[in-house]
Structure 1
Amino acid sequence: MRSIAILAATWIVCTGLAHGAEHAPGWGCGGPPDLQDGWTVTAPEAQSVTPTVLCEMGDGVAAGHLPEVDSILVVRHGVLVYERYFNRPHTLSYDAATRHVGNSMTKSVVSLLLGIAVDRGLIKDLDAPVLSFFPEFADLRTPEKERITLRHLLTMTAGLNASVSAQMLSRDHDPDRHAFEQALAREPGAAFEYSNLDTEIIGAILEKVTGKPLDVFAIDELFGPLGITDVDWYRRLGNQRAMSSNGLSLRPRDWAKLGQLVLNRGAWDGKQLVSASWIAQSTSPQVSAPKSFSYGFQWWLGHSAVRDHTVAWTAALGFNAQKLIVIPEYDTIVVFHASRESVQMVTPEIELLNRYILPALL
């Protein structure tokens, strides 16, 4: 019996050391610590989430048997139930205190900011011509460009030349004029085409109607009320405006707060930050998009088939597989971050969602 006890103790110590890189003390296999940052934390089973399935997923990621990610967070019923970080050689070391770039997840945040402007009456009509916000570009008006509306920009159906990249705009000292100088690629409203340019014009309009820099407006009206204090909007256009299509970097727990805001229909801590009607419009299908997706107002809408059941979700998606996924049916938020380039923007983290996280909820 003494030998067995000694062997058991040795196994516990060695196991703890072996997993020390992934688990902070007391975390178990993904149980989040209480950091006093606005999140209530509990064990997964307290929110009807099967912990063994999440443990299997995390251990598979850590061992290299599953898609490689930097972090996974799961929020159920407004409570943080799972949080795990995966550090590998030759990558940054991530933890709960480290910001992670969201890449094009930034676009969905800009949609929330536009909703705030609409709620305040700063923008009265989504179907107003976009060029009405830019009287200084009277010389660029054509009958075709006059038909572009703010709604078209939100749904990426403006018909602008999508080949004008964010990298090009970052060197352009007058990116807004450059955007409207381009010949249209198609009739406004005719079809979806993913475009950084559409979102950059939304950012320009926001600065015009609010009278504030985009990143300052975000801090004052969104991040501040959410208790998000560690913000870096590190990418800029040539005119020094914060990029609307890219560049926002937040801690994973703060990305999750944005998802919870959407799940709460725009409410946070008893205050309506964004109207429920804007959240409903933004996260409803407005136009068909590739790969069985729909698109709302800068939000993606997808679905997963699990156990003969189709689960609908809304997501902010970014390059290198950054994902903020809102699952209303199960009152759940999932956040993925990754540093390695994915073959496609959608994969491989959806495999983790479908094979592990959704079954853990069911």
Structure 2
Amino acid sequence: MSSSDSVPDPLLLLPLRQRIVEQQLGVRALHVIRPGRPDVTHLFRSDAPENLYSISKAVTALAVGLARDEGLLDLDDRLVDHLPAPTGGTGPDGAATRGYGEGIDQVRLRHLLTMTSGSPVTAFTDEEREHPGLTDHFLGTDLSAQPGDGFVYSNGSTFMLARVISERTGQSLRDWLMPRLFEPLGILNPQWFTDRQGFTWGATGLHLTSAQVARIGGLLLGEGIAPEGAAEPGTRLVPGEWIRAMHAADAWVPTGEADPEGGKYGFGVWKCSVGESWRADGAFGQFLVVLPEQEACVAITSHLEGKPGSEILRAVWEELLPLL
């Protein structure tokens, strides 16, 4: 019998809720998902759609797995095999760009997925986010490091994965995922930011309610099977082999971060400091924490400023995990 069997569901979140309030951690919603049991939920405010920030990257990683399963791409494909060379873009300084940047022909989709591409185009500056031709800017910029040599956190890398899928399918990433992921999960009209050319950002900007993001957490926990509460529960949506690959031992790359919660990055997800747990992670405290040993997933939406998001994770480890 697990310790959670002796804790009534209405009390499961009580210690965590108290700590959230006392430490002003900015959490807006909590969901605990466990197969075969009702979800345990607490909302600190109405459950409106909000930006999940980099949880979007994990959803794009799921899309890469689906595209791979459909034969549209492979992780060892070169980026240049999917996207044509720039022919008339402009750099941030207004200078014309022509052709691929130096080293771009060595970038493989695996490098983009693990953020080891070596490209300096991370798309965090206003200049890059608002670039009129971000795809060509990425493709036309010389690498600053050899692909695979080191991790640099990058919205640009994930955006380029979204662009590859769009190029192969003729649809935006968001639209391509509608019948494959969103609609079967009961997510009928998700909003997802685009660049100035109308391409889905992929790296950020997906807006969902906490209940909807919890269904994605259930999908991760269930290794690709739609959870209870989805429109098509029990349906396989993503290959289980791909979900396992996202957080497999050989997927993790060292980031150089001192925070133990940020030391290893996989395929759009992070390794947690506790046991075999792993997570999708977005700015301001958005989390999908998968707990294989507890057969649970914790979905959290927040708006935490002035403190690291790891404070929320620490609260989960200390207040909730012992009850699971």
Q: TM-score surpassing 0.5?
A: yes
Distance 1:50 1:360, change over 3 A: farther
- CA deviations over 1:51-81 (Å, ceiling 9, x no partner): 545213213434x345231111111235344
Equivalents in 2 of 1:350, 1:49: separation in Å? 22
Matched-pair contact (CA < 8 Å) for 1:262–1:279: yes
Shift of 1:46: 6.0
Residue of structure 2 in register with 1:266 after alignment: 224
Q: Determine the structure 2 residue equivalent to 1:31.
A: none
Q: Which structure's CA Rg is the greater one?
A: 1
Q: CA separation in 2, counterparts of 1:82 and 1:50?
A: 6
Which one of 160, 181, 186 corresponds to residue 145 of structure 2?
A: 186
Write the letter of the residue equivalent to 1:298. Answer: G
TM-score, normalized by length of structure 1?
0.77
Q: 2:134 maps to what in 1?
A: 175
Q: Report how far residue 168 of structure 1 moved.
A: 3.2
| In the alignment, structure 1 residue 120 sits paired with structure 2 residue 70 | yes
Q: Which of 328, 351, 354 lines up with 2:317 in the alignment?
A: 354
Aligned residue runs from structure 1 range 1-362, under 5 A: 52=11, 54-62=13-21, 64-65=22-23, 67-86=25-44, 94-96=45-47, 98-123=48-73, 125-137=74-86, 139-141=98-100, 144-165=103-124, 167-233=126-192, 235-268=193-226, 269-285=233-249, 286=251, 287-289=253-255, 290=257, 291-292=259-260, 293-304=263-274, 311-344=275-308, 346-361=309-324
Task: Using the TM superposition, give the Cα deviation of residue 119 of structure 1 relative to its aligned residue in structure 2, in angstroms.
Answer: 0.5
Q: Summarize deviations over 1:199-253 as a string: whole Å, max 9, x none.
A: 01001001011221111112121001111225221x2201121211110011111
> Could you list the per-position Cα deviations for residues 228-280 of structure 1 after superposition, in whole angstroms to 9, with x for gaps in the alignment?
225221x2201121211110011111111111111111122332211111111
CA contact (8 A) 1:172 1:238 kept: yes
Distance in 2 of aligned mates of 1:230 and 1:222: 12
User: Would the alpha carbon gap of residues 69 and 142 (structure 1) be closer, same or farther in structure 2, given more than 3 Å must change?
Assistant: closer
Find the aligned partners of 1:296 and 1:126 in 2 and give their Cα distance: 13
Paired with 1:282 and 1:118, the residues of 2 have a C-alpha distance of 13
Q: Which segments of 5 or more consecutive residues in structure 2 lack a partner in the other structure?
A: 88-97, 227-232
Amino acid at match of 2:305: E
| Structure 1 residues 274-328: Cα deviation after superposition (integer angstroms, max 9, x where no partner) | 1111111112242122234322111111122xxxxxx221111111011111111
What value does the CA root-mean-square deviation take over the aligned residues?
A: 2.3
Q: Match of 1:14?
A: none
SS of the aligned residue for 1:238 comes to coil
Question: 2-side partners of 1:45 and 1:203: how far apart?
Answer: 40
Q: How many residues align?
A: 300
1:355 Cα deviation after fit: 1.2
Q: Against the structure 1 CA distance between its residues 112 and 163, is the aligned structure 2 distance closer, same or farther, given a 3 Å change threshold? A: closer
* SS of corresponding position for 2:211: helix
Partner of 2:40, secondary structure, is strand
- Which of the pair has the greater relative contact order for Cα pairs under 8 Å at 6+ separation? 2
How far, CA to CA, are the matches of 1:47 and 1:281 in structure 2? 34
- SS state at 1:348 partner: helix
Distance 1:210 1:150 in 2: 16
**Secondary structure, counterpart of 1:334 in structure 2:** strand
Q: How far is 1:147 from its partner?
A: 1.0
Q: Secondary structure at the match of 2:277?
A: strand
Q: Contact between 1:172 and 1:239, CA under 8 Å: does it hold in 2? A: no
Check whether the contact 1:49–1:360 (CA below 8 A) recurs between aligned residues.
Answer: no
Report the secondary structure of 1:298's partner residue.
Answer: coil
Q: Which amino acid aligns with 2:60?
A: V
Distance 1:145 1:46 in 2: 54
**Hey, what's the Cα distance between the residues in 2 that align with 1:191 and 1:343?**
27
Distance 1:322 1:342 in 2: 15
**Cα distance, 1:84 vs structure 2:** 1.3
Distance 2:139 2:13 in 1: 48
Letter of the aligned partner of 2:41 in structure 1? E
Distance in 2 of aligned mates of 1:157 and 1:82: 38
Deviations 1:39-60 (A, max 9, x none): xxxxx96696675452132134
Change (3 A) 1:81 1:115: same
